[in-house]
Amino acid sequence: MSEDENTVICYFHQVLVEPIYRNLILKLKGLQEDALYNLVGTDKVFSGSELMYAGLMIPKIEEDFYSNIYVFKKSV
């Protein structure tokens, strides 16, 4: 999280593809529960409580050594 708490950066890395896929959930910590966060590069908006307690579902990835960076900007 940036010092001004307006930008959150998350990193996801998958080493090997699993033969039986299970939904992966990335849960963030330290967000403001009542704030809204926009996933940069999309039109998706999440509340802080949603990202911390329900999490961000990672779509099925069918390649080894996959990684992705998720950047959220707090709506002000």
Confidence category of residue 14, pLDDT binned at 50, 70, 90: confident
Average pLDDT, integer, range 2-30:
88
pLDDT computed for residue 24 by the predictor: 86
Average pLDDT, integer, range 16-33:
87
Distance CA 13, CA 66 (A): 6
Q: Which of 37, 19, 20, 17 is nearest to 28 (CA)?
A: 37
What would the CATH number be for the domain defined by 7-74?
Answer: 2.60.40.1180
pLDDT computed for residue 10 by the predictor: 93
Three-class DSSP labels, 57-75? EECCCCCCCEEEEEEEEEC
- For residue range 38-75, list pLDDT tens digits in order: 999 999 999 999 999 999 998 888 889 989 999 999 98
The β-bridge partners of 9 are 71
